[in-house]
Structure 1
Amino acid sequence: MTIWGQIVDSLPTNSDLWKWCIRELSGTCGVYRILPTSHAITFTLSRPGPRPFASGGRSDIWRLTDEDGRDQVFAVRSFRVYEQDPVDMIDKRYCKAVIVLKRANHPNILSIEGVAPKLFKFCVVSQWMPNGGLLGYVTKHPGVNRLELLIGVTRGLDYLHDNKIVHGDLKSSNILIDADGCPRLSDFGLRSIMKDIDPVNASTPSRGDAARYCAPELLDTNGAVRVEKKKPTNKSDIYSLSMVIVELVTGKIPFPDSSDPRVIIMISKGNRPPKPLQFDAPGMTPAVWKIAQKCWHQKAMERPEVKVVLQYLECPPNHGMCVHRVCSCPEREITDL
């Protein structure tokens, strides 16, 4: 298994052979429920305290420091596994996800440093992102150009889809901002580790919050995310991206005045956030809102591919040089996104 990892690491990360090897390595590690020894971190982390930094769903976030003298801070996401849980199934999904997370390589992706089996049976270790999540960041920095942040998010999603990776849980809290103000997509693929494991908790607040970003085909009207019946897809990621646009335009979560169960029913019936009367957020224009409208189409197949969305978002702002049909020009219209 170590040799496999060395072979993969020696290949260009943009090659088809590299992508094929990642899929094969991920599948093999899942079948045998093992990870290459190189995936275990080599530095020593401080022991977890009595309480995590944050919790959500079936995982906890710990803020731990490197004790090897480098004075670095890391985020450790540990998964809570209970006595009645099918550990073998969780182990299989965990090993497959770690392979993908470890080798993700893009400026707008938060890859992991590795795993820490001496601390937790199931966990992933990543660099600590000092600026927190996307929505909190723009709230604290109202003057930041939100279009640039959105372009970074879309580039990250484009990288995942290009590598045949579905994020599955795209929302502002899973878009972290690094020290340079660059957005990084995190937690992609992690939802699958615990999917359909604990149906008793299907209507907990954490799942309700996630439902605000879920495409209608992933929801039912009973107040639960229908992950056991329908897997997230590239198209459901595009729907989630539309809700991220809503957050960047409004500075609020989608449907901020509605309860979680009501939001699920509203989305299933085709209701969407209302268009703002004003676009005051830097970089956010009516043209960007129209992109969101295309991305949240009720029918999955009618939503655009992420590369198409990115093409429109990257339209040059110079009116005379604009070669696409979307830019900051108020007269421009999205006709065939």
Structure 2
Amino acid sequence: MLPDDEESLVQDVTERLLRVDPRKLNDRVVVMSGNQAWGAFGEIHKGTYNTNKVCIKTFKRIDDVGKFIERLIREMRVWRKLTHAHIVELLGWMSYLESKEKLCPSLVSHWCDEGDVRTFLRRRRDADRRALIRGIANGLAYLHSQEIIHGDIKPEVTVSNSRESACIVRKMLSTFGTFRYLAPEVIVDEKPTRDEKSDVWAFGCTALEILRDARPYSSITNDFAIIKAIGFGKPPFTLSSTDPTEILLAPCLKPNPNDRTEMQSVLKSLPNHSGNGQFDYCSAAPSSDVHISGPTLQFSASHEEGSLPNPAS
């Protein structure tokens, strides 16, 4: 038997989540043994739902349940309304994973066997990299059209399917972000905020990495040295003046955010390498550096800001 206070908590959380999204998938998702990735506050599991592979994002190590549930509800309200071929679809949620008596909020989305873009490109050196870039641009332009800031664009949160298109993965309750992809103003401003302009910068860094197989600031191995380099205005890449795609991406990496282009403009400028234009919905387990909790909430138009966590490369 559950203690009265724990039983009441499980019931309260379940009722609150049902009011946000009625798609409770308890006992309808089969969880495969073993986790696929993990972070400071949760794990990624693989499962099946209606014979389809799914990604199950669990949240286990929660200090303040009330505050966590409020943030989870805000994110679910936004995510469940998003419908786009390049944004991972939220299929529903679960209140427990191993035992009905143990609260373990979990979100269920599609699984993509090809994995994140960086992993995919290690296996498929001949992949159409420009098609992948356009897919990411498509998804991010859609988010911005809905007045939504992603806040943590990088190769690990983009995934590929068998047709070499890309989708953006929602990284629930993400941390402040990975330094290599943060816009200069997010690092140096006294009261940093992330917005569409900082998303554009992160997209530019991600796109150049896909093209070049080199991370931003690739010559710097120390994360705190990256912060120093950004503060001194060092660019993440030295751009080519002859490569057509790099010329198109250059406006994404303007040091002054007011000089940067918008994602809709980027999307219109990129050649369409998408073939017949049809894409699969997909998701993937993020890489092992995934952080499932943190001081910011970046999947809605409004978000909280907090202090910088320890850097993750």
DSSP 3-state at the match of 2:72: helix
**Cα 1:273–1:36, aligned 2, differ >3 Å: closer, same or farther?**
closer
Hey, what's the Cα distance between the residues in 2 that align with 1:37 and 1:307? 30
Q: 1:242 aligns with which of 182, 193, 204?
A: 204
Q: Partner residue of 1:310?
A: 267
Query: Where do 4+ consecutive residues of structure 1 move more than 4 Å?
Result: none
Hey, what's the Cα distance between the residues in 2 that align with 1:244 and 1:38? 35
Question: Mapping of 1:1-337 within 5 angstroms?
Answer: 35-41=19-25, 44-47=28-31, 49=33, 51-66=34-49, 70-82=50-62, 85-119=63-97, 121-187=104-170, 190-191=173-174, 210-220=178-188, 229-258=191-220, 259-275=222-238, 286-314=243-271
Hey, what's the Cα distance between the residues in 2 that align with 1:79 and 1:230? 27
For these two proteins, the number of residue pairs brought into alignment is 253
Aligned residues of 1:166 and 1:189 also touching (Cα < 8 A): no
Q: Displacement of 1:148 after TM fit?
A: 1.4
DSSP 3-state at the match of 2:92: coil
Aligned residues of 2:197 and 2:257 also touching (Cα < 8 A): yes
**Cα 1:52–1:287, aligned 2, differ >3 Å: closer, same or farther?**
same
Q: Displacement of 1:90 after TM fit?
A: 1.7
Which of the pair has the greater relative contact order for Cα pairs under 8 Å at 6+ separation? 2
Unpaired runs of 5+ in structure 1?
1-28, 196-206, 280-284, 317-337
DSSP 3-state at the match of 2:94: coil
Letter in 2 for 1:306: M
Q: Displacement of 1:295 after TM fit?
A: 0.8
User: Structure 1, residues 239-258: CA drift from partner, whole Å, max 9, x if none?
Assistant: 00111122112113222342
Aligned residues of 1:61 and 1:78 also touching (Cα < 8 A): yes
User: Structure 1, residues 121-158: CA drift from partner, whole Å, max 9, x if none?
Assistant: 33211111100011221221122221111111111111
Please, what is the CA RMSD of the aligned residues? 2.8
Aligned residues of 2:20 and 2:73 also touching (Cα < 8 A): no
Unpaired runs of 5+ in structure 2?
1-12, 98-102, 274-313
Q: Displacement of 1:33 after TM fit?
A: 7.1
Letter in 1 for 2:110: Q
Hey, what's the Cα distance between the residues in 2 that align with 1:305 and 1:276? 19
Hey, what's the Cα distance between the residues in 1 that align with 2:215 and 2:41? 22
Give me the identity figure in percent.
Answer: 21
TM-score by length of 1: 0.67
Q: After alignment, is 263-272 or 146-155 more displaced?
A: 263-272
Hey, what's the Cα distance between the residues in 1 that align with 2:122 and 2:247? 23
More helix by share: 1
Hey, what's the Cα distance between the residues in 2 that align with 1:166 and 1:299? 19
Q: Displacement of 1:43 after TM fit?
A: 5.6
